[in-house]
Amino acid sequence: MNLNQATFLTSAPNLSRCPQGSIAEVAFAGRSNAGKSSALNRLTGINGLARTSKTPGRTQLINFFSLDEHHNLVDLPGYGFAKVPLKVRQQWQQDLGKYLREREALRGVIVLMDIRHPMTDNDRQMVEWSRWSGFPLHILLTKADKLKRGAAMNSLLKVQKIIDHEFPGVTAQIFSATKGAGVDEARRIILGWLTE
């Protein structure tokens, strides 16, 4: 299997409308503007697969990309965008929780965080939920090219410290969609989960 086989499958407004038939999927979650679409495009090598956001937080759809008949990548809506009405955000939290608890095909969650301000309250909640649901979780610290190497490593160390104290078992790495840093490592983890 190869991530560059990804093609758009469908958008679902909620869990009950998610496509049936997949046996393994990996979900991508992150704050609006964290770089989730750019990461999906880079990881698959397909420009324009996931739309990079002009209006963060607008679409509250779960987007499915199929790798083959039984394997999907799942783009969860960005969270934590202040301009999204509270009611919409609350509904989304419910849907997200339900997806994580009930989606049988889910094999792991990639959480994207801007390397310059990782582990916001929303990020922590996302990590908590995934752990309660019992999935492996891997963090991509995105836009690493925006920091010098030393500063990027410091951010990773800080995140790793938080993980050691609060979220044992979670893993993290540096990532840049623009420069390609960490792409191979992230691909290995995703393909490992999908083919386990």
C-alpha R_g of the chain: 15
> Token pair 């990461």 is at which residue?
39
Is 7 near ligand GDP (CB under 6 A)? no
Contacts of 36 (CB under 8 A, 6+ apart): 28, 29, 30, 50, 75, 78, 112
Nearest to 34 by CA among 128, 144, 108: 144
- Helix ranges (H only) for the chain are 36-44, 86-102, 121-133, 149-166, 183-195
CB nearer ligand GDP, residue 37 or residue 155: 37
Contacts of 55 (CB under 8 A, 6+ apart): none
Among 9, 14, 58, 145, binds ligand GDP (CB under 6 A): 145
Interface positions, 163-192, toward ligand GDP (CB under 6 A): 176-178
**Least distance to ligand GDP, CB of residue 76, Å:** 10
Which of these segments, 65-73, 100-108, 138-146, 186-194, binds ligand GDP (CB under 6 A)? 138-146
Interface positions, 97-136, toward ligand GDP (CB under 6 A): none
Is 36 near ligand GDP (CB under 6 A)? yes
DSSP 8-state assignment for residue 35: S
Which of these segments, 25-33, 99-107, 150-158, 183-191, binds ligand GDP (CB under 6 A)? 25-33
Which residues sit at the interface with ligand GDP, rule CB under 6 A? Answer: 30, 32-38, 52-53, 56, 78, 142-143, 145-146, 176-178
